[in-house]
Amino acid sequence: MLEVIFLGTGGIMPTRERNVPAIALRYKGEIILFDVGEGTMRQMNAAKLSPMKVEKIFITHFHGDHYLGLAALIQTMNLWDREKPLHVYGPKYTFEFVQHFLNSGFFRPGFDIHVHELGETRLRFGDYEIWSFKVEHGIPALGYVFKEKDKRGKFLPEKLREYGLREGPILGRLEREGQIEWNGRIIRLEDVTGPRRKGLKVVYTGDTEPCERVRLFAERADLLIHEATYLNPEDRGESYHSTVEEACDVARRANVKLLALFHRAFRYTYEEYVREASKICESLGVNFVIPRDFDVITFKSGSWEQGNILGGGK
């Protein structure tokens, strides 16, 4: 099961209704953070998410609304006597900016912090990978892909009978080794299992104007979290951001299963976003949600559901 928890869904500055960007992915007991805008520690407390379970933080870029919560998060970890290392990932200049952050004030962390600068990189972590890709925001900026490893197909009872196999340690050995010798025959795992099942794919753009790399990396994603700061190009002006229509168009062309419209500008109400997205995305045949702070999208058994981590489903 994978949970995508929206700790902050606004952009540029916090409002009474929504905080600035922070997303938590909860997967097999681990919490992975994507962006840590100011107030992220408070949002985690409200959502009952422990910072001690965070081992990796991925920052899309160094505009304040995406990283100013990092210091508070690290200081809380230090206050709670953290010993495990923390890994912070980001685009060019991440090492320089994080070092400045850690050297400000009368504070030094008592645990190791490893800083990694990424380009278009593929990182492997056990049962999942995280890919970074460049986006267009006028400064060094990245988007990220969380990709769960593909899973083997289920054992087929009729095939097991055909080869004289039964449940027990022998199937565990076959799964570990990929093939075994049994009753004088070589049996491969694919001989007795169904088609492989695709692992979950979640894509987060960070801040970007529309660009082809987003579409390429989002291809057939289960969830695309695409910034949609503005409702129309006139409001965007010269900034490197996307509109609702542009985000919906990317989702359509990338054949994503679900689009989450993210990084809403403070000048608009939630209802305005709903009206605009309903008009555009529905005309394009795009399945979409507009998450509020503390909304959670849960993927389980090949389907998803939306709820709120503070108060049930929606």
Query: Which one, of 245, 266, 248, lies nearest residue 11 by Cα?
Result: 266
Run of H or E including 226: strand 223-227
Residues 6+ apart with CB under 8 A from 105: none
- Ligand-binding annotation for 241, yes or no, is no
- Ligand-binding annotation for 63, yes or no, is yes
- Ligand-binding annotation for 61, yes or no, is yes
Alpha helices, H only, the chain: 40-47, 64-67, 70-79, 94-102, 157-162, 169-177, 212-217, 233-236, 244-254, 270-284
Dig out the tokens for 156 from the structure.
Answer: 């087929």
Task: Give the three-class secondary structure for 56.
Answer: strand
- Ligand-binding annotation for 137, yes or no, is yes
| Cβ–Cβ < 8 Å for 308, 314 | yes
Angle at 212 between CA 282 and CA 230, to 5 degrees: 50
- Ligand-binding annotation for 65, yes or no, is yes
- The Cα 206–Cα 21 span in angstroms is 9
- Ligand-binding annotation for 226, yes or no, is no
Give me the torsion for CA of 87, 89, 36, 106, rounded to 10°.
Answer: 60
Task: State yes or no: is 65 an active-site residue.
Answer: yes
Kindly name the residue from 35, 65, 293, 295 that is annotated as catalytic: 65
Which amino acids are annotated catalytic? 65
Annotated binding site for Zn(2+): 61, 63, 65-66, 137, 207, 263
Binding site listing: 61, 63, 65-66, 137, 207, 263
